[in-house]
Structure 1
Amino acid sequence: MNNPGLFQARWNLRRLALCNFVPLALLAFWLWPTGQMLCMIFDEWLFHLLNAPLASNPIWLRIWAIASLRPFDVVVGVILLTLLIKGDWVFEKTEVRQAFFGFLAVLLVLLFIRMLFSKLAVYMSWQHSSPSMMIEGAIRMSDYFPGLEKSWELKDRSTQSFPGDHASVLLIWALFMTVFSRNSWQTLVIWSLALLFMMPRLVAGAHWGQDDYIGGVLLAVWALGWGYYTPFAYHASAFFLKVTAPVFGLLGKLPVVSRMSVVRAAG
């Protein structure tokens, strides 16, 4: 199962440097007064473009309200996980278990970086409220569906919307899958899904665009750099493969589960 070609036990200093330069450049642009002004101009236009139609189209409103519910995030997670562990799509059948654990390792790096960056954002007063709380005339889905907000956690506002956590997870999945993508068609599908699933928070006004294309991107790129272009994913996936081998051995004896590529023994 431990295919040494999937993850490398060495540092890729050039790619790591790039994955540190891009986030720092984005952050510098965002902190630059002119850059911040440009972001706000674009984000206000984007918010009105996405949010305003909700007032005149009940069906459109209901679609995005459902997509903004917390349980829908579980549906998205299942879709992304299915594509990750689908044998002979991006990864070979014998690679999907290692790929899964490698992605898990990179995701852990993302969570660690997010924790540190969020503390820095609070300390530096970079946090801001979402557009649904700051722009006059914003359409709040929770005003139309108060029951959904109470029962299913409809996400349409936040007092600390930077960086976009939801977007960072989608972006790290897309970046990770793109690294191993076999062709441009797969890459198109991967990024189309990532961008589509980022839309509900933007339509609802829970996040500004900059929360995603600045905050979400810098977190995801940093995580890819320190998770994949260092030996971390190699060693972490090897560790997880070893400690979970007995569990997968038992799962391999179950009638239906044993057919899954992630459960099958590697060649």
Structure 2
Amino acid sequence: MKKTNLFWIILCNILGALLLGSWFASSPAAGYHGPWLALDKGIFYFFNRLLVESQAFAVFVGIINLRVFDVIAFVAMLAIFYSYYRKSNVEGKRWLFCIGVAMLVSAVVIKQCDHFLSIDRVSASVYFDKLYHDVNWVSQLSGLPAKDRSASSFPGDHGMMLLIFAVYMWKYIGADAFVKALGVFVIFSLPRIMGGAHWFTDVYVGSVSFVLLVLSWILLTPLADMFISWLEPKVPLKFFVKKRG
């Protein structure tokens, strides 16, 4: 492993630890206090009040919080990935397929780290409803079966997967792919925050910190490259040859 990579791994881990540590200071055990809570509360109520001010906005937030919208996020990721896949030769397509598998394995590994910490945090909507009884529910206002609550919201799984995809695009395809994937991350992690099923910090502290702490050891060491190199010869090239006729 290069010395420069070790520097970036250490830096990512320091940033991830500081980010997560700062959130723990505002965690349920600490009574939900501090600047992170102030930011979370401000963002939650900004969107929550808009729900009763505009029926059109309530319906819009209801639509983007339907389960089917998660499929649209997946399609957006797939479209970015496929735009590079279709331009590749047979060997390149197999290589990209193996990168996709590595992404999924990384997501499972990071999720296991999440389970290890076993952080329990109800969604912003549930928390503020119990505290103030003044929450406007997207599902009720829109009349749609929208996801507007969660019994365990930290870290944001949806945002974490989108972020893992973005970082993999940066590592293996380049800055252009990263910018597109980062746009998908921002756009498709927003609906749950707008609907109250996630706190802002579930995504921008939880997801980001876990990716910094764990994914840095996967992508900035030879681990991911070794896995892809191991998998490539095991996947027959014939699967990626376009059939004629």
Per the normalisation by structure 1, the TM-score is 0.76
Say yes or no: does 1:78 pair with 2:75.
yes
Say yes or no: does 1:30 pair with 2:23.
yes
Structure 1 residue corresponding to 2:150, chosen from 152, 158, 161: 158
- Which residue in 2 is equivalent to 1:217? 208
- 1-structure distance, mates of 2:151, 2:64: 20
Structure 1 residue corresponding to 2:60, chosen from 60, 63, 77: 63
**Post-superposition shift, 1:239?**
3.1
8 Å Cα contact 1:105-1:227 kept in structure 2: no
Structure 1 residue corresponding to 2:49, chosen from 28, 47, 52: 52
- Which residue in 2 is equivalent to 1:204? 195
- Which residue in 2 is equivalent to 1:172? 164
**Post-superposition shift, 1:116?**
2.6
- Which residue in 2 is equivalent to 1:93? 88
Say yes or no: does 1:249 pair with 2:241.
no
Say yes or no: does 1:119 pair with 2:108.
no
Structure 1 residue corresponding to 2:5, chosen from 12, 15, 30: 12
- Paired residues, what number? 235
Flag the 1:195–1:250 CA change in 2: closer, same or farther, 3 A. Answer: closer
- 2-structure distance, mates of 1:237, 1:98: 7
Flag the 1:143–1:180 CA change in 2: closer, same or farther, 3 A. Answer: same
Within 5 Å, give how 1:99-110 maps onto structure 2. Answer: 99-110=96-107
**Post-superposition shift, 1:196?**
0.8
- 2-structure distance, mates of 1:83, 1:196: 14
- 1-structure distance, mates of 2:79, 2:172: 16
**Post-superposition shift, 1:108?**
1.6
Show structure 1 runs of 5+ residues with no match: 1-7, 257-267
Query: Which AA in structure 2 matches 1:174?
Result: A
**Post-superposition shift, 1:187?**
4.8
- 2-structure distance, mates of 1:105, 1:187: 17
Query: Which AA in structure 1 matches 2:192?
Result: R
8 Å Cα contact 1:201-1:207 kept in structure 2: yes
- 2-structure distance, mates of 1:181, 1:109: 17
Could you say what secondary structure the match of 2:84 adopts?
Answer: coil
Instruction: Identify which range, 74-83 or 109-118, moves more after superposition.
Output: 109-118
- 1-structure distance, mates of 2:112, 2:202: 15
8 Å Cα contact 1:85-1:97 kept in structure 2: no
8 Å Cα contact 1:86-1:93 kept in structure 2: no
**Post-superposition shift, 1:88?**
8.1
8 Å Cα contact 1:118-1:163 kept in structure 2: no
Flag the 1:67–1:173 CA change in 2: closer, same or farther, 3 A. Answer: same
Per the normalisation by structure 2, the TM-score is 0.82
